[in-house]
């Protein structure tokens, strides 16, 4: 821990340097600090504050932080398991970021600080961290969609070895949920780290992962789109799936033309979360011979009225029809219904029931499980 004088010097330099544009040497505090027992200590310099709390997805409710004589408020959690965690501070009732931690994620319109914790190799947190393994490439690319009459943005992961190589790779199309965009899976979903680590361990086949923008009337994520729009569930949700179904070949044609793709049923997967799960389900129904692997993460289509389409899906003998859902998720009712329908007809669908609700923590786990079963 730095002394108070160092902290004040740092803050003063930061303020003085503002005329030279926001350059500061940081706060001089370490926060969060992961302790040897995997508890985590948070620190915030707030000498004028009356009440400071921390709120995060590693506990229920808010925790009171304690002020030291140096104006630094602290709180230490109990030991935590490996995971990616989000948190914020609440200073006198106002939510604020931890200025000592540059790592942040945006979910719809809300930013929070994040950190990863890995208790041991192979736990959840370990897969979300960057390790000294070969790394894939992440590209933000624009493609033309004649169907939607739009130039649209998508994110492409190509595995380590793609550059300079000649091999063709199978493709996973991975769709985000309401409020999300083509950056959601790479940012919130840790897709890049999960795929790098699984492939390096030999637990997943090297594959291309294509992450389109699933809101058919949006061309790109906030920041990449014309106008600096503030995302909401309303402006980043497609109630209808038919536009996504009809325009999906535009995406596949672009990818198959511009990347070294191993084509065909047994080399093509589609998966998505929430809205993207429903879209993936509908895509499987719309193109029954197209996707040999289907992943529905906390999102499904109802089977009523779609019985014949489901018959066609399973007549094409998918290698994997995988449903994942949390036990506290409202989507579980329909997930179980779909599983029961498949069981009745003797269709080999898998239902993976996890703890928890409709949250990214589950979707990262579902991707980790699902990716290992692809293209075998």
Query: Is 168 an interacting residue with respect to a copy of itself (CB under 8 A)?
Result: no
In the window 235-254, what residues touch a copy of itself (CB under 8 A)?
A: 254
The end-to-end CA distance of the chain, in Å, is 50
In the window 255-284, what residues touch a copy of itself (CB under 8 A)?
A: 257-258
In the window 140-159, what residues touch a copy of itself (CB under 8 A)?
A: 140-143, 151, 153
- Among 6, 16, 66, 130, which residue sits at the site for a copy of itself (rule: CB under 8 A)? 130
Backbone angles phi, psi at 360, to 5 degrees: -60, -35
x/- string (CB under 8 A) for a copy of itself, residues 50-89? -----x-x--x-------------------------x-x-
In the window 295-324, what residues touch a copy of itself (CB under 8 A)?
A: none
- Among 12, 35, 79, 233, which residue sits at the site for a copy of itself (rule: CB under 8 A)? 233
Which region among 221-229, 243-251, 284-292, 334-342 touches a copy of itself (by CB under 8 A)?
221-229
Which region among 44-52, 208-216, 308-316, 331-339 touches a copy of itself (by CB under 8 A)?
44-52
Q: How far is the CB of 224 from a copy of itself (least distance, A)?
A: 6
In the window 333-372, what residues touch a copy of itself (CB under 8 A)?
A: 357-361
In the window 171-190, what residues touch a copy of itself (CB under 8 A)?
A: 179
* CA separation for the pair 53, 264 (Å, rounded): 53
Which residue lies nearer to a copy of itself by CB, 28 or 292?
28
Query: Is 124 an interacting residue with respect to a copy of itself (CB under 8 A)?
Result: no
Query: Is 110 an interacting residue with respect to a copy of itself (CB under 8 A)?
Result: yes
């Amino acid at each position: 821990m730095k002394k108070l004088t160092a902290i004040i010097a740092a803050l003063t330099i930061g303020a003085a340097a503002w005329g030279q544009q926001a350059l500061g040497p940081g706060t001089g505090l370490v926060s969060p600090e992961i302790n040897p027992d995997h508890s985590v200590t948070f620190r915030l310099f707030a000498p004028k504050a009356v009440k400071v709390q921390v709120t995060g997805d590693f506990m229920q409710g808010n925790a009171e932080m304690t002020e030291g004589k140096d104006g630094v408020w602290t709180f230490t959690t109990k030991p935590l398991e490996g995971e990616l965690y989000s948190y914020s501070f609440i200073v006198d009732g106002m939510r604020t970021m931890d200025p000592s931690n540059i790592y942040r994620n945006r979910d719809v319109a809300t930013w929070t600080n994040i950190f990863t914790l890995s208790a041991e190799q192979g736990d959840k947190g370990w897969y979300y961290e960057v390790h000294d393994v070969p790394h894939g490439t992440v590209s933000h690319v624009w493609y033309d969609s004649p169907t939607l009459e739009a130039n649209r943005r998508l994110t492409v992961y190509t595995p380590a070895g793609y550059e300079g190589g000649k091999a063709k790779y199978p493709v996973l199309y991975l769709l985000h949920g309401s409020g999300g965009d083509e950056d959601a899976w790479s940012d919130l979903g840790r897709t890049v780290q999960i795929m790098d680590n699984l492939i390096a361990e030999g637990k997943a086949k090297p594959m291309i992962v294509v992450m389109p923008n699933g809101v058919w009337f949006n061309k790109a994520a906030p920041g990449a789109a014309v106008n600096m729009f503030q995302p909401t569930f309303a402006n980043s949700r497609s109630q209808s799936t038919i536009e996504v179904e009809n325009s999906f070949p535009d995406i596949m044609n672009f990818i198959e033309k511009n990347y070294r793709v191993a084509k065909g049923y047994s080399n093509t997967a589609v998966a998505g979360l929430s809205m993207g799960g429903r879209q993936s389900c509908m895509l499987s129904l719309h193109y029954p011979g197209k996707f040999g692997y289907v992943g529905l993460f906390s999102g499904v289509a109802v089977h009523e009225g779609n019985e014949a389409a489901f018959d066609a899906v399973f007549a094409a003998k998918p290698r994997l029809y995988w449903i994942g859902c949390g036990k506290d998720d409202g989507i579980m009712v329909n997930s179980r219904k779909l599983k029961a329908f498949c069981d009745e007809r003797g269709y080999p669908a898998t239902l993976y029931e996890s703890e928890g609700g409709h949250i990214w923590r589950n979707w990262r786990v579902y991707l980790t499980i699902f990716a290992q079963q692809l293209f075998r």
